[in-house]
């Protein structure tokens, strides 16, 4: 697909390894072996695409305090403490307290099992990373610091899968903490569930909500040149299949709005966007609101999720899914197919083109149901296979929560009305699933992404200290 994704900052992982210094004069071969293991962990971390801040090996509380200051200054997204052998809690507690980042403790012994017939005490100690883990857990708990760990062996694929899950979650947490989220226009009248107290976004996740006017888009669209529009139409023809219902004037307008959206995102340095404007009688703001879907879909595919109907929490859910590598398309319930056991879901709005089952279709519409205006809309089906429906709940006390459900997108008949539509089999009666999903407190919309992502979302929920409701 000829779309250049935005470049997200690499997740910054601080790494510190350690062991009890009293062992080194007793067992001269132990420290060199542990340092080789530490170097291998640093190498593997780098292979996960991280920026690794490796502060080396600590042997006592004094060295731990020095490492704590270095990691505090580095501003890491995640601290990984490698327990190579026994070490005291006082060596790691200052690091956890001062870093300002979540801490993951890993215990990776050299191989799957010791050679019990030949090992002496020094060789055994290289396998003793599990020894201090309960001590760390107790100390962290008493200090009020969330505790998490991964135990395995140095080349254990299961352990590294879990470590990667925490690293990805830390990257998403960082994207939320540093994110700039655009909110443009006004609430769709009467949709109380969609309304979000803007203060709750930085309170729950960090980041910033930039309140925008549709005039901020209008002035940028007015400056778009004809040559640029021609080039954007060419891009759209590469990305989309065009239905014969696409009116050339509407296509040109959508391309012009798309270019204005790109400039808006660049000028305000946005990581996501939620929008809606009703307008009246074909005036400019109504035309802008109706011309958004092409540009919003292209932005979403590039890694800047855009959600219609002023759905700020769903644009955040789409951002989370995108940064997990799941895509994340703007979605709502459409119908239930009790004959086939499927839940049909999608939307007449922004789609994540990167997760389409086929080349997405651009269809011309004389009317957007329930909305003013006319123009072009995107039609596609999310790639068939494992998927996760994921959304954000706003609780009565102001806390956010996650809700997620894993299913499988499958083949079947689809409406041809310019909507993204997916048939999802959640492995249960579609009516029962819909009742359970609705009872969670989810609002009108959510993100639908590829892959089963509950494990990654649980890790992210842990790092953000939010509840995850699994349906």
Q: Per residue in 311-349, pLDDT tens?
A: 999 999 999 999 999 999 999 999 999 999 999 998 877
Reported as type and span, the H/E element at residue 409 is: strand 400-410
* CATH T-level topology, domain 179-470: L-fucose Isomerase; Chain A, domain 3 (3.20.14)
In the chain, helix, strand, coil percent, each to 5? 40, 25, 35
Buried b (16+ CB within 10 A) or exposed e, 162-194: bbbbbbbbbbbbbbbeebebbbbbebbeeeeeb
Smallest CA-to-CA distance from 67 within 26, 96, 34 is with 96
Q: Per residue in 214-253, pLDDT tens?
A: 999 999 999 999 999 999 999 999 999 999 889 999 999 9
| pLDDT for residue 49 is more than 70 | yes
Structure tokens of 112?
């799957």
Q: Is 445 left (phi over 0), alpha (psi -120 to 50) or beta?
A: beta
DSSP class of 240: -
Averaged pLDDT, 65-92: 96
Question: What is the per-residue pLDDT for 364?
Answer: 86
Averaged pLDDT, 385-390: 97
- Helix axis angle, 226-239 to 248-267, nearest 10°: 100
| pLDDT for residue 1 is more than 50 | no
Which residues, in sequence order, are CB contacts of 423 under 8 Å at separation 6+? 337, 340, 342, 343, 344, 381, 409, 410, 411, 412, 414
Q: What's the predicted TM-score (pTM) here?
A: 0.94
Q: Per residue in 445-461, pLDDT tens?
A: 999 999 999 999 999 99
**What is the edge-to-edge ordering of all strands in the sheet holding 272-276?**
208-212, 180-185, 272-276, 306-307
| pLDDT for residue 58 is more than 60 | yes
Question: What is the per-residue pLDDT for 102?
Answer: 96
Q: Where are the domains of the chain?
A: 12-170, 179-470
Q: Is 452 helix (H, G, I), strand (E, B) or coil?
A: coil
Which residues, in sequence order, are CB contacts of 247 under 8 Å at separation 6+? 364
User: Percent of the chain, pLDDT > 70?
Assistant: 98
Q: Binning pLDDT at 50, 70 and 90, where does residue 374 land? A: low
Structure tokens of 74?
């580095």
CATH number belonging to domain 12-170: 3.40.50.10940
Q: Per residue in 425-448, pLDDT tens?
A: 999 999 999 999 999 999 989 999
Q: Per residue in 294-314, pLDDT tens?
A: 999 999 999 999 998 999 999
């Amino acid at each position: 697909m000829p779309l250049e994704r935005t470049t997200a900052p690499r997740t910054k992982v601080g790494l510190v390894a350690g062991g009890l210094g009293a062992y080194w004069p007793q067992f001269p071969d132990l420290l060199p072996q542990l340092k080789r293991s530490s170097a291998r962990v640093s190498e593997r971390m780098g292979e996960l695409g991280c920026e690794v801040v490796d502060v080396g090996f600590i042997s006592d509380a004094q060295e731990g305090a020095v490492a704590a200051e270095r990691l505090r200054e580095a501003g890491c997204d995640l601290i990984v403490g490698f327990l190579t052998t026994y070490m005291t809690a006082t060596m790691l507690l200052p690091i956890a307290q001062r870093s300002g980042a979540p801490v993951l403790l890993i215990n990776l012994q050299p191989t799957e099992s010791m050679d019990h017939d030949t090992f002496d005490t020094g060789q055994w100690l290289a396998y003793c990373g599990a020894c201090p883990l309960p001590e760390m857990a107790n100390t962290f708990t008493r200090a009020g610091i969330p505790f998490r760990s991964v135990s395995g062996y140095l080349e254990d694929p299961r352990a590294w899968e879990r470590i990667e899950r925490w690293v990805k979650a830390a990257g998403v947490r960082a994207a939320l903490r540093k994110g700039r989220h655009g909110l443009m226009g006004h609430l769709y009248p009467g949709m109380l569930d969609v309304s979000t107290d803007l203060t709750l976004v930085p309170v729950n996740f960090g980041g910033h909500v930039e309140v925008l006017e549709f005039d901020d888009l209008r002035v940028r669209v007015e400056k778009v040149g004809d040559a640029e529009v021609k080039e954007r139409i060419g891009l759209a023809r590469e990305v989309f299949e065009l239905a014969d219902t696409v009116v050339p004037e509407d296509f040109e307008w959508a391309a012009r709005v798309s270019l204005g959206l790109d400039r808006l995102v660049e000028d305000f340095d946005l990581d996501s966007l939620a929008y809606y404007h009703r307008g009246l009688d074909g005036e400019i703001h109504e035309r802008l609101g109706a011309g958004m879907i092409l540009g919003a879909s292209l932005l979403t595919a590039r890694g800047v999720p855009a959600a219609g109907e002023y759905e700020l929490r769903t644009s955040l859910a789409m951002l989370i899914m995108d940064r997990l590598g799941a895509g994340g398309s703007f979605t709502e319930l459409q119908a239930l197919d009790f004959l086939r056991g499927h839940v049909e879901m999608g939307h007449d709005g922004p789609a994540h083109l990167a997760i389409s089952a086929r080349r997405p279709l651009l269809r011309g519409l004389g009317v957007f149901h329930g909305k003013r205006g006319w123009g072009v809309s995107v039609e596609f089906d999310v790639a068939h296979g494992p998927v996760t429906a994921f959304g954000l709940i706003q609780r009565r006390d102001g806390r956010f929560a996650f809700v997620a459900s894993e299913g499988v997108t499958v083949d079947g008949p689809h409406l041809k009305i310019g909507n993204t539509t997916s048939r999802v089999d959640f492995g249960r009666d579609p009516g029962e699933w819909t009742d359970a999903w609705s009872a969670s407190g989810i609002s009108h919309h959510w993100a639908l992404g590829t892959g089963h992502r509950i494990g990654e979302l649980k890790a992210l929920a842990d790092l953000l200290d939010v509840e995850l409701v699994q349906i």
